[in-house]
Chains A and B, each alone.
Chain A
């Protein structure tokens, strides 16, 4: 299915990234998995932004999902998590548009001290819904033609983005932002893809 799952805005400090605003669409996940899906996506976007250099675009594949990241030269970062059917170019166009709108409303001086709860930016959730249909991007042809010149680096696994010696499993288990339940989900989800894994 052509689908967007998450749209995030982050600010990249020297050592870590902080969420400024997040929006999710987790309707397609099982009811009891939705919280975990959100946790995991938040974790993924933070991890990838921290490992993306300023003024670069990346697209990172992981299983059925793909995470598009753009960190601007001023360290404001945007993330889109979608599936493979969603056109990459449109995803990056959406990030550019959202970051432009955000920095028009909140000037760069406020980013370092901002905190997600105090930021009012309802346009993010609205864009996430509207862009579920990628044809919405037709109106953005101008940005898109500028985008063509920027190179998007494509990685086939999240491992390619991590630094030497880092492992995804370790990062997840060490993470403080993921709940105990999400970690349990992640551990078992790896084993439960086979059909009768619970039975027996």
Chain B
């Protein structure tokens, strides 16, 4: 039964190969479920979109697989590079999870028989069919490294790659492999990519509110941004737009706390980045009710703020009680001079009031999911980060409790 189709399979494979070499604009691939076999070509192409009818898939794949395994036994010059390439394309298009076949393509590229740019295109088409293929990303990474090493014109190489990752992440939610690959691309073009990716990832999380891989990427990005700001070669020009947007967000954040002496100028840049992130996160939680990924990202923000504040010594709101100032709920005394120490404590106070107000707003009985996450977050703040909200503090205060008796 299988053998009858083999002659046809060879024809279909070479048609596929020709399609890819003739049309560099080919953009997607899919399999059409067709049960009845008609006597015509199973390949469809419309507006640069490619499809293959499902009935022929097992035949083509088995043919390509068997022949490739035989082909691997042939050594040296006897190998026919073009035939090998055609078979590999058919096999990988249908099942890109075979590392051996990708390695055979690497051999072809290394021996100069295959253009690496052709494969960048070929694999980008496969990604529309299987957006979550780990071997495929590993192969693309190898090509990119190969191109960088051979120092050809590689401007925009990583920028294009990031576009491709974004398209793949769009097709498959929580696409870990695509985002991991994107993190790698980001590290290849630091620090110039920071500003572009800051804006792009913000846009992304606003449209994909429960995609935790997307949030993880943003967390990585922020970490890179912080270490860039810490570095010696730090240049404000490179991240000008980020600086502008975090300043704006901080002023908006402080708007409700005008009685305090803090201004956007006195808060350190690193904290302002998290104020921006917190405002964005509050907005998303408010508009998209009940998504755990958003609340997890909020934990990340508080975790980082805590780390930054502990560095600048502000123990009061973060659980390290200092004995000179008992926890009686009174706000810390304001010092006329805004030094490093008082900025930290005043910021903590404002933050705790802000968070308490926000959580109260989220405790709407009509939205049980939201209330559940808000309570979890409150517990987490109290238990794990030891961050104390001022109102809780009042309730825990023995004097305050006594008045109810």
Which A residues contact B (CB, under 8 angstroms)?
1-2, 28, 30-33, 84-85, 87, 89, 134-135, 148, 184-185, 187-189, 192, 195-196, 198-200
Contact = CB atoms under 8 A, between A and B. Distances in A.
Contacts of B94: 198-199
Interface stretch (B207-215, B259-267, B324-332): B207-215
B210 A87 contact: no
Contacts of B210: 84-85
B58 A192 contact: no
B202 to A, nearest CB: 14
Contacts of A200: 58
A189 B33 contact: yes
Contacts of A1: 170, 173, 207-208, 211
A30 B28 CA distance: 8
B105 to A, nearest CB: 19
Contacts of B171: 28
B379 to A, nearest CB: 26
A32 B35 contact: no
A32 to B, nearest CB: 5
Given A32-B51, A198-B54, A87 B95 contact: no
A134 B207 CA distance: 10
A198 B30 contact: no
Given A1-B173, A85-B209, A199 B33 contact: no
Contacts, number: 69
B366 interface: yes
A32 B54 CA distance: 13
B46 A31 contact: yes
Nearest to B94: A199
Nearest to B97: A195
Contacts of B97: 195-196
Contact of B33 (A84, A135, A184): A184
Contacts of A196: 95, 97
A87 B287 contact: yes
Pick from A1, A185, A192 the residue with the most CB of B within 10 Å. Answer: A1
B28 A188 contact: no
Interface string B266-303: 00000000000000000000011101000000000000
The 6 tightest CB contacts between A and B, nearest first, are A188-B33, A31-B49, A198-B57, A30-B30, A32-B51, A199-B61
A134 B287 contact: yes
Given A85-B209, A85-B288, A134-B287, A198 B31 contact: yes
Nearest to B44: A32
Nearest to B204: A1
